[in-house]
């Protein structure tokens, strides 16, 4: 009977959002605590040694399972939960980074995606607490060949809620696109030119050490409040989806005080090249099914869809389709977020300015009001 119960618990745990070995089974810890291509179709998305055989006693397993699936996810909350004066910032700096360990690396795009993107879970032992919308810095090993100095830090938006994918509060997740550079002369990727940090992370194996800094940033934090009813409009290209995954999990997946209080609507716009490049699509679909009135999800597939003018469907074109609703929401206090490559912003700003003029609005004044009210959030790279 004991063996059956253990197997049942393990099966439930493994089925929960990329579950990894709970912190209680790795190391006891306090309860507090350039996102950038290529992989063959036949490559296995999971590293072969990502699963280890561990023997644990039933009492420990039951304790961890109970904590991870408790009715309330609140052990990392401020008091009150919306108090942003206690947001952790720069707990670890470049000169003294925290050394975390990779738990798992998983390819999360299909074979026809324009590049390789991985979901990477890192164990921080509960010593690097963060809030949704913040970033971690990663210092890749090695030196810069141009100056002989240690490689510099790269920032990555965090893709998990403060509780982590395993709900223990001891891990963080990053969404990283492998950066490679195509050489026309070689007719292939140039092995001498590749993103140092993104390749380090995408090639990492369980147990590998990662130097981390941060967390940093407050511009992308949720507008949590005692009366938490503001609509949220989230616009992303590619791995700019990361902070929105952390937000959506907090609001609709986990049983947090914020989820219990939230009365608004969250609207996600994601722009990628094709369906195989959609990131976390299964998670968005699940939230759509569980919260149809509070969550909306629209995609722009530039290589598979056309806009109203017959051209490629870019993220600004998809947002423009709902321009009236977007402006009405902003007028009523909605917060609008942008995350992704900085090249996304000119097209979006031009589109919004055109819509504003068609409505008889002075765009500069309208945008100035949004910024003054804290409704405008931009994090591009």
* Residue numbering of the annotated binding site for NADP(+): 157, 177, 239, 302-303, 312, 340-341, 379
Binding-site residues, please? 157, 177, 239, 302-303, 312, 340-341, 379
Residue 119 CB: number of other CB atoms within 10 A? Answer: 23
* Full DSSP string of 343-372: THHHHHHHHHHHHHHHTT--HHHHHHHHHH
**339 carries an active-site annotation:** yes
Residue 63 catalytic? no
> How is residue 298 written in tokens?
């629209």
- Catalytic option among 92, 130, 156, 280: 156
| Burial (Cβ within 10 Å: 0-12, 13-18, ≥19) of residue 309 | exposed
Backbone angles phi, psi at 279, to 5 degrees: -105, 130
Cα→Cα distances 280→245, 259, 340, 371, Å: 8, 20, 16, 30
Q: Which of 118, 175, 197, 339 is catalytic?
A: 339
Of 81, 330, 89, give the one whose Cα is nearest residue 220: 89
Specify whether 379 is catalytic.
Answer: yes
Q: Indicate if 81 belongs to the active site.
A: no
State the catalytic residue, choosing from 118, 130, 136, 157: 157
Q: b or e along 216-225 (b: 16 or more beta carbons within 10 Å of the residue's beta carbon)?
A: bbeebbbbbe
Asked if 96 is an active-site residue, the reply is no
Query: Which residues have a catalytic role annotated?
Result: 156-157, 339, 379, 381
């Amino acid at each position: 009977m004991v063996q059956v119960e253990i197997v049942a618990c393990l099966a439930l745990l493994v089925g929960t959002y990329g579950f990894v070995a709970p912190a209680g089974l790795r190391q006891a810890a306090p309860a507090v605590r350039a996102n950038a291509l290529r992989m063959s179709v036949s490559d296995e998305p999971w590293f072969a040694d990502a699963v280890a055989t561990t023997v644990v006693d039933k009492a420990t397993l039951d304790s961890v399972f109970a904590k991870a699936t408790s009715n309330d996810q609140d052990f990392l909350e401020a008091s009150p939960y919306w108090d942003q004066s206690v947001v952790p910032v720069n707990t670890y700096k470049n000169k003294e980074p925290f050394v975390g360990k990779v738990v798992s690396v998983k390819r999360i795009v299909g074979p026809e995606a324009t590049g390789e993107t991985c979901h990477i879970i890192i164990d921080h032992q509960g010593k690097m607490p963060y809030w949704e919308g913040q970033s971690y810095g990663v210092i890749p090993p090695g030196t810069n060949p141009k100056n002989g100095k240690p490689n510099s830090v790269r920032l990555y938006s965090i893709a998990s809620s403060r509780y982590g994918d395993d709900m223990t509060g001891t891990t963080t997740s990053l969404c990283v696109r492998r950066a490679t550079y195509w050489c026309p002369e070689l007719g292939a990727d140039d092995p001498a030119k590749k993103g140092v940090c993104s390749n380090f992370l995408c090639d990492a194996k369980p147990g590998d050490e990662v130097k981390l800094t941060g967390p940093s940033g407050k511009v992308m934090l949720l507008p949590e409040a005692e009366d938490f009813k503001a609509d949220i409009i989230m616009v992303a290209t590619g791995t700019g989806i990361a902070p929105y995954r952390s937000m959506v999990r907090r609001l609709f997946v986990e049983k947090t005080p914020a989820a219990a209080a939230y009365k608004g609507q969250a609207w996600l716009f994601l722009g990628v090249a094709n369906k195989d490049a959609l990131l976390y699509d299964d998670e968005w679909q699940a939230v759509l099914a569980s919260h149809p009135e509070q969550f909306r999800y629209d995609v722009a597939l530039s290589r598979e869809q056309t806009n109203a003018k017959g051209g490629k469907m870019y993220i600004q074109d998809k947002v423009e389709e709902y321009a009236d609703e977007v402006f009405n929401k902003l007028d009523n206090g909605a917060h609008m977020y942008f995350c992704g490559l900085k090249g996304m912003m000119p097209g979006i700003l031009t589109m919004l300015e055109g819509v504003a003029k068609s409505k008889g609005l002075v765009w500069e004044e309208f945008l100035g009001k949004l910024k003054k009210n804290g409704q405008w959030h931009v994090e591009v790279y």
